[in-house]
Amino acid sequence: MSGSTFTIRLLGATATLLLASACGTTTNTTGATPGAGADQATAATAGGVLSVRTTSLGPVLVDAKGLTVYLLTADTPGHSSCSTQCLQYWPPVPAPAGASVPSVGGISAALAEAKDTSGAPVLTAGGWPLYTFVKDKAPGDVAGQGVKSFGGIWYAVSPSGAAVTAPPKSAPAATSGGGGIYGY
């Protein structure tokens, strides 16, 4: 086989693999991506919404996309204080459809539903309303850790529902005064 024929076949195989991966991902019944190690997804999802993933902060709750889930210290258990402007940067984790939130293996926090300030249902862990951060773009990102804004501090959430207050192991602690990162 000539070099150009081999290159064309290799490119064709690569394109086929990329197309197949773009069409969807396969998950098993535990919610972990096939082939993912124990340091990746370690629990099933709550109604397809919540699981546990190990990040530079250790094990934290993540949403269905694998993005880190945060709590705001200005909230109180069962009550979200995140207003319309806040929700633009910190989207709430929606509660799964149905009468109750199922328990999830690997998550010891009680999972329930509350309402955000717009009245939409938001998932809670240990009573704390849960959010993601728009600057987290990929699973394992923890850009929201320690951010001070909207009247409190944002922390990733442990499987027990507690705030993870340690800075990421691979990066310095986030330092931000007021809401300066948002430009207001």
The residue with greater pLDDT, 45 or 102, is 102
Domain boundaries, the chain: 39-178
Instruction: Please give the pLDDT value at position 105.
Output: 80
Instruction: Over range 157-170, report the average pLDDT.
Output: 91
The residue with greater pLDDT, 66 or 175, is 66
Instruction: Over range 73-84, report the average pLDDT.
Output: 95
pTM (two decimals): 0.68
Instruction: Over range 48-72, report the average pLDDT.
Output: 94
Cα(36)–Cα(57) distance, rounded to whole angstroms? 18
CB 106 within 8 A of CB 52: yes
The residue with greater pLDDT, 21 or 91, is 91
Instruction: Over range 59-79, report the average pLDDT.
Output: 96
Instruction: Please give the pLDDT value at position 167.
Output: 86
> What is the percent of the chain with per-residue pLDDT over 70, rounded to a whole number?
65
Instruction: Please give the pLDDT value at position 168.
Output: 86
The tokens of 3 are what?
A: 């070099």
Q: Residue 38: pLDDT above 90?
A: no
pLDDT band, residue 181 (cuts 50/70/90): very low
Cα(161)–Cα(68) distance, rounded to whole angstroms? 13
- Cα–Cα nearest to 61, from 113, 124, 121: 124
Instruction: Please give the pLDDT value at position 97.
Output: 74
pLDDT band, residue 96 (cuts 50/70/90): confident
